[in-house]
Structure 1
Amino acid sequence: MVTGSAVAEAAPSDGGWDDATLVGRAREGDLRAFEALVGRYQRRIYQLAWRMTGSSGDAEDVTQEVFLTLWRRLPELREDAAVVGWLYKTATNRCLNVLRSRKPTAEVDEATTPSHDATDDPERSAESNEQMQALAAALGRLPAKQRAVWLLREIHGRSYDEIADLVDTTPQSVRGRLARARVQLAEMMQPWR
């Protein structure tokens, strides 16, 4: 099972192989190549899932399901180098399914919350933590598809075309959802300006 601490573990050495090589080797049964793929992308997929679902437990489940599905579907993957897009699309769809099945709640993940170093200004640290909690809550109030688009663009840096493919829509729709998400987040975060 994927855990928050397992996500932070270092990736196995992959000899500097590219994704296509790792996928090809994993398809042939090379477990080390598959472990290298997991190590390379597990943290990103977990972070996307955590931000979309607002729950570390759901994020762990989604991450585990994504990589189990990848293992099972390696023979079906048509372009070995397209594994990253496949991972993001699968994770996004799984997260949307989780969100459809429940009302989202915000949860603060200690791994992404600013640390309280003794040398930091305590007042500033408290304010920063409150801002992170407010942002997590604001993201939790966005409709699931707007949240997915915002996270994929703003946090994961995906292009409009790639996001459109990941959420099965058009780039114009992505731009619209992103614009609405930005406006809603700006309104909800107004007290923090």
Structure 2
Amino acid sequence: MGESPSRRPDLDDVTLVARAQDGDVIAFERLVDRYQGPLFRLALRMLRDRGAAEDVVQDALVTVWRQVAGLSDPAAFPRWVYQITTRTTLNRLRARDRRPTDPADPELLDQDQHNRGHGADLRDPATLTEERATATALRAQIEQLPEDLRLCWTLYADHGRSYEEIADIVGVTHGTVRGRIARARQKLAEGMTPWR
């Protein structure tokens, strides 16, 4: 038997979205495989809670499945799935108790980055230790950013989204995004001064 067309690794997002819109569950699963990790990292960065981030991504992907047939432009899928996940994350942030929480375990993000890397790191242990300390300090500074700055910064720096995409995802103007990223950059630079 031949391989299902939706299981081919070379299918682009637009093709998979079009097939998912026609009810192809396998095509939708391929989209989930591609987007679940980045969406989880976004939710984790914002929520600082692994379980809550997993719940948000699951809720967002259920919404995407229910609404994918109504997406008029399959090429807009990446922006659209980020919009849904961002809204779901922000709703969770606003709804949860305002009690203090521990920041996300730095090892979770480090482990995720390592898992996406290639093989063992052969650099000098002292250099690795210094880089890890700097990365931990940067994560702490990012966690201290106000929610609106942290979201824009995370979408820009961690997810490679353009200002236009972020404006569309977050529902603000291009200028607002530019300002938020500039303020985030300034705050991070100030906070990282001791590490230079």
Q: TM-score, normalised by structure 2?
A: 0.81
127 and 58 in structure 1: CA distance in 2 versus 1, 3 angstrom threshold: farther
Amino acid at match of 1:59: A
1:112 maps to 2:113: yes
C-alpha contact (below 8 Å) 2:16/2:31 kept by paired residues: yes
Unaligned stretches of 5+ residues in structure 2: 1-5
80 and 133 in structure 1: CA distance in 2 versus 1, 3 angstrom threshold: same
180 and 39 in structure 1: CA distance in 2 versus 1, 3 angstrom threshold: same
Counterpart of 1:135?
A: 138
Counterpart of 1:170?
A: 173
Q: TM-score, normalised by structure 1?
A: 0.82
Q: Distance between the aligned counterparts of 2:13 and 2:35, measured in 1?
A: 10
Residues 95-116 of structure 1, C-alpha deviations (whole Å, 9 max, x = no match): 222333345623211222699x
C-alpha contact (below 8 Å) 2:21/2:68 kept by paired residues: yes
Candidates 20, 32, 49, aligned match of 2:26: 32
Q: Percent identity?
A: 44
Counterpart of 1:184?
A: 187
**How well do the aligned residues superpose, as a CA RMSD in angstroms?**
2.4
Amino acid at match of 2:180: R
Counterpart of 2:3?
A: none
Q: Distance between the aligned counterparts of 1:156 and 1:90, measured in 2?
A: 15
Aligned length: 182
Residues 151-187 of structure 1, C-alpha deviations (whole Å, 9 max, x = no match): 1112222221111111111111111111111111111
Q: Distance between the aligned counterparts of 1:92 and 1:118, measured in 2?
A: 33
119 and 165 in structure 1: CA distance in 2 versus 1, 3 angstrom threshold: closer
The 3-state SS of whatever aligns with 2:188 is: helix
1:58 maps to 2:52: yes
Amino acid at match of 1:153: Y
Amino acid at match of 1:145: D
Shift of 1:52: 2.5
Q: Distance between the aligned counterparts of 1:46 and 1:87, measured in 2?
A: 12
Shift of 1:34: 0.8
Q: Distance between the aligned counterparts of 2:88 and 2:55, measured in 1?
A: 10
Amino acid at match of 2:186: V
Shift of 1:47: 2.0
Unaligned stretches of 5+ residues in structure 1: 1-11
Amino acid at match of 1:128: E
Amino acid at match of 2:64: L
Amino acid at match of 2:191: M
Shift of 1:118: 8.2
